[in-house]
Amino acid sequence: MSEPIDRKTVESVARLARIDLPEDQIDDTASKLGDVLTYIGQLEQVELPDDVEPFFGAIESVNAIRPDQLTDSVDREQILSNAPDADGEFYQVPPVL
């Protein structure tokens, strides 16, 4: 069984995800995330036969592959129009160090 999630972990995950989590929601979030982990912990306890292969994704099929061929890119003016700020050539973002 996983340990319940503490406030510090919640704050750290929120910071990594750039989510501004109000102080009064931290405990509630910790308890909800803890529930998820508890559920996963239950799944981990299911006994499986030894010959079951590990499973890495929700889709069973494999090999959706495309040939190395060019397709048209999107017009610059159009794609830059999605951005909050652009100068006609580049996206503009606040200064990054």
Q: Residue 61 interacts with another protein (CB under 8 A)?
A: yes
Q: Find the shortest distance in angstroms from Cβ 95 to another protein.
A: 5
Q: Residue 45 interacts with another protein (CB under 8 A)?
A: no
Cα–Cα dist 26/10, whole Å: 7
Chain-centre distance for alpha carbon 54: 22
Secondary structure letter of residue 96 according to DSSP: -
* Cβ contact 62:56 at 8 Å: no
Q: Which position among 3, 16, 24, 51 is part of the footprint of another protein (CB under 8 A)?
A: 16
The residues of the shown chain that bind another protein, judged by CB under 8 A, are 12, 15-16, 18, 56-59, 61-74, 76, 79-80, 82, 85, 87, 89-97
